[in-house]
Amino acid sequence: MGEKVYELKKIKKKGKGMPLIGDKFPKMEVQTTYGMMKLPKAFKGKWFVLFSHPGDFTPVCTTEFVAFQLRYELFHELNCELIGLSVDQVFAHLKWTEWIAENFDVDIEFPIIADTGKVADLLGLIHPNKGTNTVRAVFIIDPQGIIRAMLYYPQELGRNIDEILRMIEGFQTADEKEVAIPANWPCNEIIGKGLIIPPAADVETAIKRPEKYKCFDWWLCYRNFYKW
């Protein structure tokens, strides 16, 4: 077990391991349906969501792309861009999005990466038991190019796009207010729309917490910063 951990650390140190939460998103130049793009530079100063799908002209992926597009303005309101990816050629992406427009009257306005497999390999998007198809992965990257979250779904389960929006809004609120976000926020079963105050780091702060915030105990305090 110790040897395996050591080997993993060596691989990561050499830059060969897949990126992790808190890492800088790796620099890359990709071909997309909107031309060549350099990531993360193309979205400098913005949040962006890179999401992979198993393949074009597949049923679950089609429902996801429609769902992403129908919420595209909501992502924009959060200063966030979208970019898709699969191991398909660019003409396949173009023909698929054309089919979506013709059949659902939904124009896909965000770029889709036409990956050769290089990006998928770098980001760990290929499951060894699923051939060359990418898994349903989601990377949420902040304006500084830092990976804030990574989600992986199996091929048979479509994503909940509203949860991705909730996560981005949660990250932005946590950063701005220096708080933590409770489960199911903003509809938490204990504190509703409340935001959690970070735990006290010393005795004096712990004692004063109930005087300043609503608390169940000194280590579980919250405040209603947020108006939904």
pLDDT tens for each residue of the chain, 228 residues long: 444 444 434 434 444 578 999 999 999 999 999 999 999 999 999 999 999 999 999 999 999 999 999 999 999 999 999 999 999 999 999 999 999 999 999 999 999 999 998 999 899 888 666 666 788 999 999 999 999 999 999 888 999 999 999 999 999 999 999 999 999 999 999 999 999 999 888 999 999 899 999 999 999 999 986 543
Q: Please, are residues 114 and 161 in contact by the beta-carbon 8 Å criterion?
A: no
The pLDDT score that the predictor gives to residue 197 is 95
The pLDDT score that the predictor gives to residue 7 is 44
Give the angle 183-185-191 at the CA atoms, nearest 5°.
80
Q: In whole angstroms, give the CA distance from residue 216 to residue 167.
A: 25
Q: Which CATH number fits domain 19-159: 3.40.30.10, 3.40.50.410, 3.40.50.720, 3.40.50.300?
A: 3.40.30.10
Domain spans of the chain, in order of start = 19-159, 178-228
Enzyme catalytic residues: 61
Tell me, yes or no, if the two domains 19-159 and 178-228 fold the same way: no
Q: Tell me, letter by letter, the H, E, C secondary structure of the chain.
A: CHHHHHHHHHHHHCCCCCCCCCCECCCEEEEEECEEEEECHHHCCCEEEEEECCCCCCHHHHHHHHHHHHCHHHHHHCCEEEEEEECCCHHHHHHHHHHHHHHHCCCCCCCEEECCCHHHHHHCCECCCCCCCECEEEEEECCCCEEEEEEEECCCCCCCHHHHHHHHHHHHHHHHHCCECCCCCCCECCCECCEECCCCCCHHHHHHHHHHCEEEECCEEEECCCCC
Q: Look up tokens 């060894």; give the residue.
A: 128
Q: Which CATH number fits domain 178-228: 3.40.50.150, 3.30.930.10, 2.30.130.10, 3.30.1020.10?
A: 3.30.1020.10
The pLDDT score that the predictor gives to residue 180 is 96
The pLDDT score that the predictor gives to residue 125 is 87
Strands of 195-196's sheet in order across: 195-196, 220-223, 214-217
pTM of the predicted model over 0.75: yes
The pLDDT score that the predictor gives to residue 199 is 87
